[in-house]
Structure 1
Amino acid sequence: MGHHADPPAVHPAVHPAVHLAGGPELAAALPHLLGFPPVESLVLLALTGSDERRVGMTLRVDLPGPDDAPLLATEVVSRLAPSRPAAVAAFVVTEAPDVPVADLAALVEHRLDDLGPVELRLLRAGADLPGRDVLHAVTRVLAGAGVPLLGAWLVRAQRCWDYDCPDPCCDPAAGCPLPGGTSELAAAAVLTGRVLVTDRSELVGRLAAPADLPPGMVGACAEVGAHQAETLRREGWDELLARSWHCVQDAVARHRPGSRAALTDVEAARVAWAVTATEVRDRALGLGAGADAPAAEALWTGLLRRLPPPLDATPAVLLAATAYARGDGVTAALALDRAQASRPSCTLAQLLRQSLSSGLPPAVVADLLTRAAAAGSEQLGA
């Protein structure tokens, strides 16, 4: 079909809780739920809880055409299934123009006697909102799965329309402005280390292998590798592990808010070599589930802009685990792409990929990272 589907984002609970009142506020929150503003997209929010008010899994796909809508609807709803939603909220994000009445009349001609107030008003107005064909397909698939569609909105030109609203506020030429300013959710996203980029391509670019390595980086990696081998020969494995973990701790501390200092090529290479040891890597996994998660994520992201393969593989896996633990499936998937391109045999990357595809909740992943860190600490004798 040629439509790109991002991995689902599964959002852990945020304390204090962030309350989103309705369609416009949810629409304004989409960039923070996804990590980037969606463009020409269908976004589905799985709502959980007895009152259907907690956002669970968020899924974005490229907006399909009318012919592709039924098949894509089946695909995306099946991907929501692991989260067992109590209901779903749907958003069509597009800058497409309104649908002329002639096209709308052709769509509903076979059931004119069955038209509701919304369709009758749109027929009188002479136009409909774009994307209704996609929503019809999604609604049919959801109904077949026994999941109600709680609401459906169009997001266009920083305004929001409710597809099911019969009032003039949702006429094609009207719409409600999206709330401006810094929202509670935006503030909560910053606190949890989530970085909002301008679009998806920028996120891809941030995590892509550098076209040109920084001058001296390859030499620094070779130099540190030789020094690691000499340390192992002269002082033994335990001492090498202790030094390696201290190196990681120092680098993380330098990436905390307010105290970030750029690593030299040699320092970056030391961290990269340090986490090649399974014991150090496992303990570093726990950073993604603790108070230093934002600093650790900044460290791993920075290393990916500088390291050659295969030394970039472990930082990429660590970034994927950290992003996954805070519910950012898109960043996790892109980091796993980088890890597996660098080292296809990486078992941890394969396990994280399987977990992400199956919709394993971030809370479970965070618990697994904590356990891995405990095992790594025991192996390090800490």
Structure 2
Amino acid sequence: MDVPLAQHRPDRPQVRISDPGEVAAALPQLLGFRPQESVVLIGLGGASGGRVGLTVRADLPAPRDRAAAAAQLVRSLRTDRPAAALLAVVSEAPDEVDPWAIGHEADGALVPADELDPWAIGHEADGALVPAAELPHRELVHELVVALSAEHVPVRDALLVRRGRWWSYDCPHPCCLPLAGTPLPGGVSALAAAAVTTGQVVAPDRAALAARLDAPPGARAAMVAACVRTAGERVARLRAVGEAALVEESWTALGEALARCRPGTVPPPAPLSDDDVAWVVWALRDTRVRDRALGLALGADAAAAEALWTECTRRAPAPLDAAPATLLAVSVWLRGDGAMAGIALDRALDGDPDHGLARLLARGLAACLIPADLRELIEQAVAADAPR
């Protein structure tokens, strides 16, 4: 499950979205990538009841898992205490047809679904004419509505998004019949424009978002050699200067690398070498250096720290990638990008399944700990470690 936490980004201008079509079109900006075969819950709140709140996404579950998936999504959304919710299903699944819908044969015979035009007319008890086809995933929508109702969260609308159009599951009008739908708004939405001003780049899908942390092609062998070489150098320095001095040397090397990642530096510094990255990732294996580095996400060097952790995560071999990936998760989480935080934590735990801080943060992300609360926890930790 992804928890993009889009509403908590302090650097994003306030944008109000009221039309369901605008919400459907804004899903990529809310999530950070274009969802496919997904279910999304968007919390609504604020004084007007229309402010976009916590946003959670999951892959469409198998039929046997619908109830459990719905319960998990609603538990996550509920942590933000929404006044209401908006539900969106993103799927290219075909319409669902009653297998024995009543067709309008001359003799009134039952017609099997595979022989039935989706626009064929059935008969309601009151004689009304209805299409035989229905929007897909209606059972999942039902499970979510029931789970939200149990938590006293009203559903503002339930949407299906596919093929550049949107439908409302509750709409009785012809525009929401299965073969109709309403085109998604064209042009650049207000939320998309706001995202551009904050530098957000929407990925084509979640896999493309994760690929931003892939290692540079053909660079793995040289990076491994640099890490082996650096390990020997650190052992020699430990024997020469002692543990406390090595911690300070490690912090100094990290600071030098950080300075080279500051945006807007003129002239642009030389890229970090394999040896530079190796020194940083080995330094972060020391929890004293790593915990001190947590505070970098809080201050003026937050952007430089995110760039440094990204570079180190991409290039470091496992398990040395676990610490920078964990720090990257903190950096992006604090600016509201929960989807990327989840990807970074997955990378950290792939590299080192026993990494304590990564496991702790993964539990916090699953519980929808909001950025403001995470910031407070880090501030407390940094204050506790500060020299007195």
How many matched pairs?
364
Q: Is the 8 A contact 1:283 1:372 kept in 2?
A: no
Q: What corresponds to 2:110 in structure 1? A: none
Q: What corresponds to 1:217 in structure 2? A: 223
Q: Deviations over 1:129-153 (max 9, x none)?
A: 3232321222122222221001111
Q: What corresponds to 2:309 in structure 1? A: 300
Matched AA of 2:229: E
Matches within 5 A, 1:105-254: 124-189=130-195, 194-207=200-213, 214-254=220-260
Q: What corresponds to 2:109 in structure 1? A: none
Report the Cα offset of residue 318 of structure 1. 0.5
Q: 1:350 aligns with which of 335, 342, 359?
A: 359
Q: 1:33 aligns with which of 30, 33, 46?
A: 30
Relative to structure 1, the CA distance from residue 25 to residue 343 in structure 2 (aligned partners, 3 Å threshold; closer, same or farther) is: same
TM-score, structure 2 normalization: 0.81
Matched AA of 2:297: G
Report the Cα offset of residue 209 of structure 1. 7.4
Structure 1 SS opposite 2:357:
helix
Instruction: Give the Cα separation in 1 of the matches to 2:199 and 2:294.
Output: 16
Relative to structure 1, the CA distance from residue 216 to residue 70 in structure 2 (aligned partners, 3 Å threshold; closer, same or farther) is: closer
Q: Is the 8 A contact 2:18 2:50 kept in 1?
A: no
Q: Is the 8 A contact 1:300 1:315 kept in 2?
A: yes
Q: Is the 8 A contact 1:42 1:60 kept in 2?
A: yes
1:318 partnered with 2:327? yes
Instruction: Give the Cα separation in 2 of the matches to 1:278 and 1:290.
Output: 20
Unaligned runs of 5+ in 1: 1-5
Q: What corresponds to 2:93 in structure 1? A: 96
Q: Is the 8 A contact 2:349 2:355 kept in 1?
A: yes
Of 24-33 and 161-170, deviating more is: 161-170
Structure 2 SS opposite 1:150:
strand
RMSD of Structure 2 on Structure 1 (CA): 3.2
Instruction: Give the Cα separation in 2 of the matches to 1:349 and 1:139.
Output: 33
Report the Cα offset of residue 310 of structure 1. 2.3
Q: What corresponds to 1:3 in structure 2? A: none
Matched AA of 1:137: E
1:52 partnered with 2:58? no
Q: Deviations over 1:274-315 (max 9, x none)?
A: 222333322321232344434322322222222122211211
Instruction: Give the Cα separation in 2 of the matches to 1:184 and 1:299.
Output: 31
Q: Is the 8 A contact 2:95 2:136 kept in 1?
A: yes
Instruction: Give the Cα separation in 2 of the matches to 1:113 and 1:102.
Output: 18
Matched AA of 1:329: G
Q: Which has the larger radius of gyration?
A: 2
Matched AA of 1:244: S
Instruction: Give the Cα separation in 2 of the matches to 1:13 and 1:320.
Output: 15
Unaligned runs of 5+ in 2: 103-112, 114-122
Instruction: Give the Cα separation in 2 of the matches to 1:33 and 1:330.
Output: 10
1:9 partnered with 2:7? no
TM-score, structure 1 normalization: 0.82
Instruction: Give the Cα separation in 1 of the matches to 2:235 and 2:64.
Output: 60
Q: More helix per residue: 1 or 2?
A: 1
Matched AA of 2:184: L
Instruction: Give the Cα separation in 1 of the matches to 2:221 and 2:9.
Output: 43
Q: Is the 8 A contact 2:40 2:56 kept in 1?
A: yes
Structure 1 SS opposite 2:87:
strand
Instruction: Give the Cα separation in 2 of the matches to 1:198 and 1:54.
Output: 26
Matched AA of 2:298: A
Report the Cα offset of residue 18 of structure 1. 2.0
Relative to structure 1, the CA distance from residue 211 to residue 59 in structure 2 (aligned partners, 3 Å threshold; closer, same or farther) is: same
Q: Is the 8 A contact 2:3 2:55 kept in 1?
A: yes
Q: What corresponds to 1:43 in structure 2? A: 40
Identical aligned residues as a percent: 46
Matched AA of 2:86: A
Q: What corresponds to 1:266 in structure 2? A: 275
Report the Cα offset of residue 226 of structure 1. 2.7
